[in-house]
Amino acid sequence: MYRVRWWIAGIVARVVTLILFRGVEVTGSADHDGPRLIVANHFGGLVDAIVVIRALGGLPHIVAKSTLFSSLPLRLLLKLLGVVPVYRQADTSDTSQNTSSFDEVAKALKKGESVLIFPEGTVTDTQELQKVRTGAARMALRAVEIGVTNLEIVPLGITYEDKVSSRARVLVEIGDHITDADITSLPAGEPLTESHRELVEQLTEMIRSRLAAVAPDYGSLVRERTMMLAASIHVRSRMTKAFDEPAMSDLRAVAQQLALATDPGDDTRFAETGAYQLALSASGLEDHQIQPAPRTRDLARIAVRKALIVLVITPLALIGLVSNLIAILLVVAVGAFVKEPVSKGTARVIAGLVAFPLTWVAAALTTDPNYWWLAIALALVGLVFLVIGAAQVIDLFEAMTTWWAVRNHIALLPDLHDMRDEADRELRSILSARLD
């Protein structure tokens, strides 16, 4: 059952992330061949779990707060998916049931399976790692206690380009694993049990340190956006091909270095960068539109490629649009209704996981009984091609908009490029000071 869930969920997560994001970039290796306790930061609600499943290629056992098990239908579904409840002090005064939950996790690890936990214990919009709770360390020690060998704790950092936009990208960084050798070498020494308070605290700090190395740390959404914007200016300075995007891993690395090198209240460090951004806004342009500047042949190249793709997939994409129109409108409406960034993605996913299957079932019930499977297949495959086709059209529209904007403001480009060079020099200075 675990292997069946693993592969089916991996396929579903790939489809869902294809709909939610413009791209999912994964760096490092989870190496889930063996007992793996995966710890991840929790900035995106339910979307975080979908992203982790996409990065791993399958569904691990997931540790989730016990309040999700309050209703019988949801409880049965979560159990079927291999979700393990954990009882937080914030939700109940009786946490004794965690003993059985920890045992369940340890048994799964002993079978060589993977378990995912968000060790902060809550979801946040602050864009910095919250206090890491002791649950992950206690689960790992409980597994070692019952004889699990070759256990590894895998830190996994999730960075969203923009949690609100459905056209954003996401980066999954897999950090240095904590091996059972690392655990046994902790200064606290024997006994290796979850009741050893000092050992639990030391392992929790090790988990926090490894996770912090791959998780975003900006303090607020505004500061995160500021650092990512500045990082984009710096990284794009080395790019030469129009309409290309810098890798999320490069942006995250530079943005994090800039954040660590500057104080949140010290705006003077970004004076030239701010002046350049102000000039761009006043000109009605964006940095990616002028660096690298697109030429007519660049637009022609991308237009031909995108148009050919759209032409080929249009028939199935239209089937996908007709078959899933109600579900699509419902998901869009839910996304527009929810205002909090941390909840918007979760709301979209829940709405989609309910609306799309119901749409497919309705299509099957209104089709000849002998061909119900064909109706579902066409709706599902058509949805995938619809997402791909829509992405091509949007990319082409953005390319044409960029090309046209540059042509209409060509007289401004020399001054803007000079200001951009000054901004990049400023950013290089900040980064150099950080390295020194």
Rg (the chain; Cα; Å): 24
- 289 burial type by CB count under 10 A (0-12 exposed, 13-18 middle, 19+ buried): buried
**Intervals of the chain under pLDDT 50:** none
- Give residue-wise pLDDT tens across range 255-308: 999 999 988 877 788 999 999 999 999 999 999 999 988 889 999 999 999 999
Residues 6+ positions from 423 with CB-CB distance below 8 Å: 233, 272, 273, 275, 276
Interatomic CA distance for residues 356 and 50, integer angstroms: 16
Q: By the 8 A CB rule, do 10 and 126 touch?
A: no
* DSSP structure string for 179-230: EHHHHHTSTT-S--STT-HHHHHHHHHHHHHHHHTTS---SSHHHHHHHHHH
Report residue 241 as tokens: 């091909």
* DSSP structure string for 88-117: -TTT-S--TTHHHHHHHHHHHHHTT-EEEE
pTM (2 d.p.): 0.89
* pLDDT score, position 193: 73
Mean pLDDT of all residues belonging to the chain: 89
What single DSSP character describes residue 411?
G
> Residue for token digits 């998916």?
81
* pLDDT score, position 319: 93
- 282 burial type by CB count under 10 A (0-12 exposed, 13-18 middle, 19+ buried): exposed
Interatomic CA distance for residues 292 and 237, integer angstroms: 8
* pLDDT score, position 53: 94
